[in-house]
Chain A
Amino acid sequence: MSLRGYILLLVLLVSAFGLALFAGTGGLGPAELVAALSGKGGLEAQILRELRLPRALLGLAIGAGLGASGAVLQGFFRNPLADPGVVGVSASAGLGAVLALYFGLAGLSLFAVPVAAITMAALGVGLLLVLAGPRAAATTLILAGVAVAATATALTALIMNLAPNPWALAEIAYWLMGSLNDASWSEAGFALPLIGAGFSLLLLTRGGLDALSLGEETARSLGVDLARLRLGVVAGTALAVGGGVAVAGAIGFVGLVVPHFLRPFVQYRAGALVLPSALAGGALLSLADTATRLLSGPGMPLYLGVLTALIGAPFFLWLVRANQTVAP
């Protein structure tokens, strides 16, 4: 991507971050932010410091993790339809988190939900790789992803089925819709390092993804260690997606829409797509979260996962249709 492209993405990211901090009731501005950061100020500064800032950071990080994961999965499978949601990673991570919620592990340790989400996300990617095989064609991949997602969703439904009371059921249901309403520094404290670690692993796969665009055999002849690359993809996706799902629930389509939209701007290079996808994913999710925050009224909370799916699903439909003619 050209320097101008990066500057544009950075401007978008900073604007999205600014909106996430300052848009909404309270009339907050940069002056309050300075006060908040220096630990002074009254209620306004406290709103910024304790509510908006962690929420804005989490929105950026979760979106960046989803965007980068989508770009890496698409590059690895050499398929523009791959994304953490479509291939079942998000659903697996959601299952892990719901398990932790159901068995009350969430109350025991702050790390129970993220650890469960990440473990299940890794299991989901692993299962997908076994089912689809590393040379997965479009159909095989989507079928295997559907199988993984269906299994995870069915098990999640089973747990909701077994929920002891309506309140527990509602907690799980609302959680699954995806939201950053309860985001605080304690969530940010565990999610940001996890997503950051996953993101670093994903960045390291870029050379391998480039080589893979000529097929597995050529990639190996170029000295790429495919076993290590696969491990990086699995661990990186699991951390980046699992860490996000643990906080915000399953948020679909960001990982699908963003890389697909940006691909022509990086001249279709698989490796070069990862960083721009992360930047744009962060900006997009941050904007979507600000929109849900502003649109939600008292008694009518709008959920982030609902909004991204409402935007993402029609795009997915269009992608599937357009892909009939341009499939690799």
Chain B
Amino acid sequence: MTRLSFDTAGLELGGALILGSISLQAEAGELIALTGPNGAGKSSLLRLAAGLIEPGAGQVTLDGVSLAGLPPRERARQIAYLPAESREAWPLDVQSLVALGRIPFRKPLRRLSAEDEAAIASAMERAGVSEFATRRIDTLSSGERARVHLARMLATQAPVLLLDEPTAALDLKHQLAVMEIAEAEAQAGRLVIMAMHALDLAARYASRVVLMAKGDIHADAGPDEALSEANIRAVFGVEAPGGIAASALMPLS
């Protein structure tokens, strides 16, 4: 049973307080929406969870082991991370890009194993990018690219998936597609934590919403409770009569 915990984790960067004292437990099977205004600390929290930065105080543990003490490769096999902006330096083809997700398992001077190939094929299938397998990434639309990067992340087959605003800059259909993929991963027993601004999608898909404000957790509950009228007013300074309603949009099947 995978369990990611923040134990009074704090973070300062250049003298500025980024995260206060975060305590949070997340378990396999959850789809957690991480939301809050710009600068609330969502990305920093995800980067702490990915082990990319170390907390200045407290610790972040995976199944009781501090991330700081985990070898990078081992950590990468357990936790997959998708940054807010994925920019490709070279116009790779889709298949090669998705294969990068297998790097934590690759041995030097070896070809892709059958296991790697299966993981890549399955990830492309789940993200719905199999049909572009041989296309070059720079020939795809931004929605298709977003799904390719999602496939790259799924190919690692890590039990913990961290996504930083994967739905930003996507149209309605692609936003729904990304949420459906995330939901399926959570139902398959993975822990999915996703930073996002689309509150109606969070209300609809998330099993739990963590609402952040000024480097601290303001609310941590089910979507209805966390996204209540009072919380939205306090955190965003916006009126949302009756709280945030779940999006009624449906993908065509």
Enumerate chain A interface residues (CB-CB to B < 8 A). Answer: 78-79, 203-204, 206-207, 210-215, 217-218, 220-225, 263, 267-270, 328
Contacts and interface: CB of A to CB of B under 8 A. Distances in A.
B229 to A, nearest CB: 36
B77 interface: yes
A218 B83 contact: yes
Most chain A C-beta atoms within 10 Å of own C-beta, residue among B50, B52, B103: B103
Interface stretch (B33-41, B91-99, B176-184, B233-241): B91-99
A204 B86 CA distance: 25
Contact of A217 (B80, B83, B92): B83
A222 B103 contact: yes
Contact of B90 (A206, A207, A223, A268): A268
Prevailing SS type, chain B contact patch: mixed
Contacts of A79: 89
Contacts of B77: 223
27 contacts: A203-B109, A204-B108, A212-B89, A213-B88, A213-B89, A214-B87, A214-B89, A214-B97, A215-B86, A217-B81, A218-B83, A220-B72, A221-B76, A221-B80, A221-B83, A222-B76, A222-B156, A223-B71, A223-B74, A223-B104, A224-B103, A268-B90, A269-B92, A328-B88, A328-B89, A328-B90, A328-B91
Contacts, number: 85
B89 A78 contact: yes
B106 A267 contact: no
A45 to B, nearest CB: 38
Given A222-B100, A222-B103, A207 B76 contact: no
B200 to A, nearest CB: 29
In the A-B complex, list the 9 residue pairs whose CB atoms are closest, starting with the nearest.
A223-B76, A78-B89, A221-B81, A223-B73, A268-B90, A223-B72, A223-B104, A222-B103, A213-B89
Contacts of A225: 72
A210 B112 CA distance: 14
B208 interface: no
A214 B89 CA distance: 6
Interface in B40-82: 47, 50, 52, 71-77, 79-81
Contacts of A212: 89
A168 to B, nearest CB: 45
A210 B99 CA distance: 10
A267 B77 CA distance: 26
B80 A214 contact: no
Given A78-B89, A267-B96, A268-B92, 11 more contacts: A203-B109, A207-B108, A213-B89, A214-B86, A215-B86, A218-B81, A222-B76, A223-B104, A267-B93, A268-B90, A328-B88
B152 interface: yes
A214 B100 contact: yes
B32 to A, nearest CB: 18
B103 A207 contact: yes
Contact of A211 (B81, B88, B103): B103
Nearest to B107: A207
Contacts of A224: 72, 103
Given A217-B52, A222-B76, A207 B106 contact: yes
Contacts of A204: 108
Contacts of B47: 217
Contact of B87 (A215, A220, A222): A215
A135 to B, nearest CB: 11
B35 to A, nearest CB: 21
Contacts of B156: 222
Contacts of B81: 217-218, 221
Most chain A C-beta atoms within 10 Å of own C-beta, residue among B93, B106, B108: B106
A203 B136 CA distance: 26
Nearest to B72: A223
Contact of B100 (A203, A213, A328): A213
Contacts of A210: 100, 103
A221 B108 contact: no
A195 B105 CA distance: 30
B58 to A, nearest CB: 21
Most chain B C-beta atoms within 10 Å of own C-beta, residue among A79, A213, A218: A218
A211 B92 contact: no
Nearest to A264: B91
Given A221-B50, A223-B103, A328-B88, A214 B152 contact: yes
A211 B108 contact: no
